[in-house]
Amino acid sequence: MHHLAQGVQRFRQDVFPRRAELFERLATTHEPGALFIGCSDARVVPELITQREPGELFVIRTAGNLVPAYTPGPDAVAAGVEYAVGVLGVADIIVCGHSACGAMTALAEGQDLAALPAVADWLRHADAARARTARNEEAAEPYDKVAALVRGNVAAQLANLATHPSVARALARDAVRLHGWVFDIGSGTVEELDAGRGRFAALPAA
Ligand code: ZN
């Protein structure tokens, strides 16, 4: 904990003064251009990966970057999505999976989650992802189960995202674009889902 307090002190002394103008503007405006839905994994830092400044990304992070399909009732993810799309009017939504994801590894390897009932329940939101990738398990060529599930899960969560009324409305008006990414921790590279072809390829440079 000590190093966190030291970090705050260093931020206030060294970083904040240099960025005072930015924070002065942000004190009264909140206009992020994108909603980034990533995994809670400590190694996947949205602003670092995308080189965005404070104020530019509205971020939701969940275990396994899961977005439950819309159901009425209290739901932190649904509330965040609704606010980002309906109020802030983000133009892009990124669902970002990553290599070596603990949640996807647990599912791909069929780990015993009896001692983690909350995790086990939460990961049910990846059932569609497991169904999407299950058929590949019969393929003859060797393949990386975890990597396949990470990718299948991004596609499944994009489908879940589209069940949220705010997203469905924005999609119908062409007011939002959905993107599926996978971040590779070891190489720092990002692959993007080509929804039309159902395949991931290197994120093209803008
Ligand atoms: Zn993860």
> What's the pTM?
0.94
CA of 25 to the centre of ligand 1 (A): 33
Residue 117 phi/psi, 5-degree rounding, is -60, -35
125 is catalytic: no
41 is catalytic: yes
Q: What's the per-residue H, E or C state across 20-87?
A: HHHHHHHCCCCCCCEEEEEECCCCCCHHHHHCCCCCCEEEEEEHHHCCCCCCCCCCHHHHHHHHHHHH
pLDDT tens, per residue, the chain with 206 residues: 889 999 999 999 999 999 999 999 999 999 999 999 999 999 999 999 999 999 999 999 999 999 999 999 899 999 999 999 999 999 999 999 999 999 999 999 999 999 999 999 999 999 988 888 876 556 656 678 999 999 999 999 999 999 999 999 999 999 999 999 999 999 999 999 998 888 999 998 87
CA of 102 to the centre of ligand 1 (A): 5
CA of 29 to the centre of ligand 1 (A): 31
Structural domains in the chain, CATH included, are 1-30 (no CATH), 34-202 (3.40.1050.10)
101 is catalytic: yes
